[in-house]
């Protein structure tokens, strides 16, 4: 016994216990995040919006259009189009992430942006625009690497597809559907589409807006899903 400091051994035991608690917490964090403990299965190559144009990652205003910061193009493909998805599959992609908006005429338009002003020659909110109008737009209109030349302008006329058109094309890939809205009816409309076996086979999962994602999963229990923060 340490007569000069009777609490010394007790303090050292407490420190040892604290160290073990910290080590245990670190081990738990590692285990929950390590791929070594994840279920084994097939690894899939996922193409983000098909073969797409890249853009500068330099800091900028969050409201700025990425189409106006594109890198000098090395190919002519435009994201979220059937040709870009075909190119992705040809390059080895087994799954493709795509973005959808449910239009007033109950069509899922495959397009990333909430509004049309950035990438297209149209204006307004994507989900509030009838699909017949969207289908006629030039979705390559706004892309520029230097602010003065537009290499894809005129190349995207009529290329905005509907989700149904993508599924009918049956390109040999599965799709991860990104809901861009917070609308429950989007989840219900997708679940209804999945009653067609040929469509259900191609939809690998859903994510994005939590409301449509929850709604779709509840209406189609076999559907995979994850959630964003909106």
- 77 pLDDT band, cuts 50/70/90, is very high
Q: What is the pLDDT of residue 40?
A: 59
Q: Which two tokens stand for residue 230?
A: 């909106």
- 1 pLDDT band, cuts 50/70/90, is very low
CATH architecture, domain 43-219: Alpha-Beta Barrel (3.20)
Question: Which residues sit opposite 81 in a β-bridge?
Answer: none
* pTM (global) more than 0.85: no
Q: Which two tokens stand for residue 153?
A: 């302008």
- 53 pLDDT band, cuts 50/70/90, is very high
CB-based contact 115:136 (threshold 8 Å): no
Of 149, 134, 193, 145, nearest in space to 167 by CA: 193
Give start and end residues of each alpha helix (H) in the chain. 8-33, 82-90, 131-135, 163-169, 184-193, 197-200, 210-219
Q: What is the pLDDT of residue 5?
A: 54
């Amino acid at each position: 016994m340490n007569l000069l400091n009777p609490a010394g051994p007790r303090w050292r035991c407490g420190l040892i216990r604290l160290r073990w608690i910290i080590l245990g917490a670190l081990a738990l964090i590692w285990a929950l995040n390590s791929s070594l403990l994840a279920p084994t299965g097939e690894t899939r190559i996922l193409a983000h919006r098909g073969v797409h144009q890249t853009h500068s990652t330099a800091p900028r205003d969050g409201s700025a259009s990425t189409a106006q910061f594109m890198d000098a193009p090395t190919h002519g493909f435009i994201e979220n189009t059937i040709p870009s998805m075909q190119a992705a599959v040809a390059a080895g992609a087994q799954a493709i992430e795509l973005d959808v908006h449910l239009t007033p005429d109950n069509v899922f338009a495959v397009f990333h942006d909430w509004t049309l002003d950035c990438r297209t020659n149209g204006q307004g909110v994507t989900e509030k625009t009838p699909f017949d109008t969207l289908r006629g737009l030039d979705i390559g209109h706004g892309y520029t690497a230097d602010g003065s030349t537009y290499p894809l302008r005129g190349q995207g006329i009529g290329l905005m597809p509907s989700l149904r058109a993508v599924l009918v094309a049956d390109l040999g890939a599965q799709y991860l559907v990104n809901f861009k809205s917070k609308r429950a009816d989007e989840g219900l409309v997708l679940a209804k589409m999945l009653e067609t076996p040929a469509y259900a086979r191609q939809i690998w999962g859903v994510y994005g807006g939590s409301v449509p994602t929850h709604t779709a999963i509840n209406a189609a229990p076999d559907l995979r899903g994850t959630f964003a923060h909106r």
